[in-house]
Amino acid sequence: MVTKQIIIDNIPRGLAFEVLRVIGIDGTFTEPAKIELNIESETLGLKDKITIHSPLDDRFFARLSLIASTITIEEIDELGNSRKQDSIDLPDRIIRMICCDNDQCITNKMPVTPKFSVEKEGLVPRLRCEYCETIIEQLIFEETED
Amino acid sequence: MQPARDIVSTRELSKELIIQLFNRADELTNGVTPPLLTGKRLGTLFFEPSVFVRLAFESAMIKLGGGVLYSTEFQFSEINSLTTDSHFFDMVKLVSDFSDVLLLRHPFEGSAKLAAEIADCPVINCGDATHSPIQALIDLYSIRTLKKQIEGLQIGLVGNLKEARNVKSFIEAVSNFNAKICLVSRDELRLSGRFLHDFRLRAENDSNFGLEEFYSLKECISKLDVLNLSNLEINLEGEKHKYVIDEAVFTKAKRDLMIIPPMPRKAELPIDIETRLSPSSPTPFGTFFTQAQIGVNLIVAILEYLLYQE
C-alpha cells in the first residue's frame, strides 16, 4: 500500500498541536497538510483533525495513543483504499519509550531506565513517573540509534 | 500481614497501613513494650544534612536493642562526588549489604525509589527534593495525637511551598483522611504546578479531600485547626531571605490552633508564640518538642513493622 493521505481524527479539542509535535511536523515540513480545529463531534463535543498528504512512520502511531485514547488514524492509498486503525490499548506500565520531563528526576540525573504507570481515567491518559511521581506534562520520546 | 518492603513515598502507603502504624505508636506511648530488634543494623546514607529525623531513627533503633551504622565518609560533605552515577549505585548497594534497614536522604527526586531497587534491605526515605514521607507521617501523627482526630480538620500549609520537600508528602498523607488542605503562599512561592494540578484534580474527583489556595494567611487563619509552617527560607536573586509571619495575624486564630514549625526552627515566629496563643501548652516551645517525643514512638512502630517478622 502506497500511502497517499493520512487522516488523524478524533483528537480531543486543543491537542492538535501536541499531535503535530509528537509526529515531528513543524515549520520545516514541506508536504501539504490540513489542520482543522474545533470541529463538532458527537462523541467528543469538539474535536481536532489533521490530514497529511504523505506517509507517516509506524512508530508514530503508538505514540499518538499516549496523547488520547480516542485518536484514530486512517491511511488512504493512491487507489482510494482505506485502512483505519484505532488507538492501541495502552498497557498499565510503560518502560523506556518516553523520558520524564521533570529535569530534577533521578532518571535525568543518572543512567536509570524511565518507568511510568498509566492512569487511564478520561480521554487523555496520565503518565506518572514511578520515580519522582510527577505527571508527565510534555511527551519526550527516547530516540534510539537504528 | 506481609511487611512493607520500603517506605519511600506517602503515595505508596495505604490508609490502612498509616492507621496501623499510628495505632501501634499509640500502644507504645501507652506503655506496651516493643519486641527487641537485637542484632539488627540501621544503615545511614545522608547526602544532605538532617538532625531530627536521623536522631529519631538512631534513638529508636538503640531503644529497640539494635545498632546504628554511621557511615561518616558517605555523608553530605562529599555530595558532589557521591551524587554521580556509579557512586550512588555502589554506596547504596554496599551500605545495604551491611544493614537490615537503610535510611537515605538525597537531593534528587526519586532517589529513594531507585535506592529501593538497588538495596538488599528495606529503604526508608528521609527526604529527597520533593518527598519526605517520614516527616509527613510524624506531622500527621502529631496532629492525630494532639487534636485527637484528623477527619474534618482544616490544615494550613504556609511558607515556600515551591521548594519545601515535605509539602507534597504531607498533602498525600492528609488526603486519606477527609481533611481539608489550605495552601497559603505568594504566587512566586506556590506549590509546583505539576503537583498542584495533580492535587486539584484529585480534590475535584474525591469528595473526601478538599484543597483551597490563599495568597495570605489573613484570608484563612480564622478557620484553621492546624498550621504547618513549611520551608521558611526563600531564595531571591541568589540571596536567602526568611519568611517571617506577622504575629498580629494570630489575633484571629482559633485558641487551640496547633502550629507545626519547621525543624529546626528559625526566626519565622517568636519562640514563645504558642505559649501565648495557648496558655495550656505544656512547654514554652509548643508542639516542636512535643512532636519530637511523639515522633519517636512512631519511628519505633515503623522500624518494628519493617524489621520484626514473627
ipTM value for the complex: 0.83
Q: Determine whether the interchain pair A109/B83 forms a contact, defined as Cβ–Cβ distance below 8 Å.
A: yes
User: In chain A, what percentage of residues exceed pLDDT 90?
Assistant: 42
Cis check for the bond before B264: say yes or no (omega within 30 of 0).
yes
Instruction: Give the per-residue pLDDT at B213.
Output: 93
Q: Is the confidence at residue B81, as pLDDT, over 70?
A: no
Chain B residues closer than 8 Å to A134 by CB:
109, 194-195, 198
Query: Which is more confidently placed, B79 or B39?
Result: B39
Pick from B9, B110, B198: which is nearest to A106 by CB?
B110
Best mutation target, A95, A106, A108, to test chain B (most B CBs within 10 A): A106
Q: What is the mean pLDDT of residues B233-242?
A: 61
The SS3 of residue A54 is: coil
Extract long-range pairs of B244-249: CB within 8 Å, 24+ residues apart: B244/B268, B244/B269, B245/B158, B245/B217, B245/B269, B247/B273, B249/B217, B249/B218, B249/B221
Which band of pLDDT confidence, cut at 50, 70 and 90, is reported for residue B140?
very high
Instruction: Give the per-residue pLDDT at B156.
Output: 94
Strand order in the sheet with A45-52: A33-41, A45-52, A3-12, A72-77, A82-86
Q: What is the mean pLDDT of residues B268-283?
A: 55
Please give the distance of CA B181 from its chain centroid, rounded to a whole number: 16
Q: What is the mean pLDDT of residues B141-170?
A: 89
Positions of chain A with pLDDT under 70: 1-3, 143-146
In this structure, of A83-87, B69-73, B106-110, B150-154, the range with the lowest mean pLDDT score is B69-73
Which band of pLDDT confidence, cut at 50, 70 and 90, is reported for residue B231?
low
Q: What is the mean pLDDT of residues B211-237?
A: 83
Q: How close, in Å, is residue A139 to chain B by CA atoms?
A: 14
Count Cβ–Cβ pairs < 8 Å, chain A vs chain B: 50
- Chain A's closest residue to B88, CA to CA, is A110
Pick from A102, A111, A135: which is nearest to B85 by CB?
A111
Among B1-15, B49-63, B169-183, top mean pLDDT goes to: B169-183
Among B239-243, B252-256, B260-264, top mean pLDDT goes to: B252-256
pLDDT 10s digits, A76-118? 888 888 888 777 778 899 998 889 999 889 999 888 999 999 9
Pick from A104, A106, A134: which is nearest to B114 by CB?
A106
Q: What is the DSSP string of A62-131?
A: HHHHTT-TT-EEEEEETT--EEEEEPPPPPSEEESSEE-S-TTBGGGTSS---EEEEE-SSSS-EEEETT
Q: What predicted TM-score, i.e. pTM, was given to this entire model?
A: 0.85
A135 close contact with B: CB closer than 8 A:
yes
Instruction: Give the per-residue pLDDT at B285.
Output: 42
Query: Which is more confidently placed, B292 or B273?
Result: B292
Q: What is the mean pLDDT of residues B143-165?
A: 89
For chain B, the average pLDDT equals 82
Sign of CA dihedral B197, B202, B205, B208: negative
